[in-house]
Amino acid sequence: HSLEVATISSIIATALGTPAAMALARRRFAGRGAIDLTVVTSLTAPTVVVGASLLGLFIALSVPRGLTTILIAHVAFNLAIVIIVVQARLSGLDHSLEEAAADLGATPWVGFWKVTMPLILPGIFSAFLLSFALSIDDYIITSFVAGQTLTFPLWVAGAVKVGIPPQVFVMGTLIFFSGVLIAAAALILQKRSDRHLKNIAAEDDWA
């Protein structure tokens, strides 16, 4: 359940949060400040408050608690994480590169996929990994909306009452080494993005 929820919620949050971050970072529209405030508030609010609020919402809507409510809750807090991380990546992006691509004949769609997307991909990847890590590790919010569904943190919390089972150490080791491998992959992706940026700059200078 933990792997299923973490994977699906991170994918959904990344797919929704990336275009939202681009809109917030590059467009001016009514309500932008309110949206930014909502995103920041969802991250800074205590997890107990977030969990209790979601529980109240599901009870008011008569939604039975289970795997679906866990997924909705994880998408809710992962979405804010993705927006902030991708926005940070976009804030350091040189907009002149997109203008250079347009000067060289690229359409907005081609410019996005050939220039913008490779440059913000490390940020998107980082947002996905951070969302996945926080989702698979979440206990407080999940405990409010889980119902009878058991995730790994909930299972550990119940198991340690009678002793720590060996599965906890096995899963901890797997999560640690998986994190190391993913961090190495992120570093490689970052280096490729930097090389791509240098190549674009070189082509622009040549043009």
CA atoms of 112 and 166, how far apart (whole Å): 48
pLDDT tens-place string over residues 20-72: 888 888 777 777 788 888 888 888 888 888 889 999 999 999 889 988 999 99
pLDDT at 8: 93
DSSP state for residue 31 in the 8-state scheme:
T
Nearest Cα to Cα of residue 10 among 97, 127, 120, 154? 127
pLDDT at 194: 66
- Which amino acid is present at 18? T
Contact 126, 159 (CB under 8 A): no
Confidence of residue 198 (pLDDT cuts 50, 70, 90): low
Contact 106, 114 (CB under 8 A): yes
Give CA separation, 8 vs 15, 79, 186, in Å.
Answer: 11, 12, 20
User: Does the pLDDT at position 97 exceed 90?
Assistant: no
Contact 124, 189 (CB under 8 A): no
Q: Which helix (H) or strand (E) holds 22?
A: helix 2-26
Q: What is the dihedral sign for C-alpha 176, 4, 128, 181?
A: positive
Q: What is the dihedral sign for C-alpha 8, 9, 10, 12?
A: positive
**Tokens linked to 20:** 């939202």
User: Does the pLDDT at position 13 exceed 90?
Assistant: yes
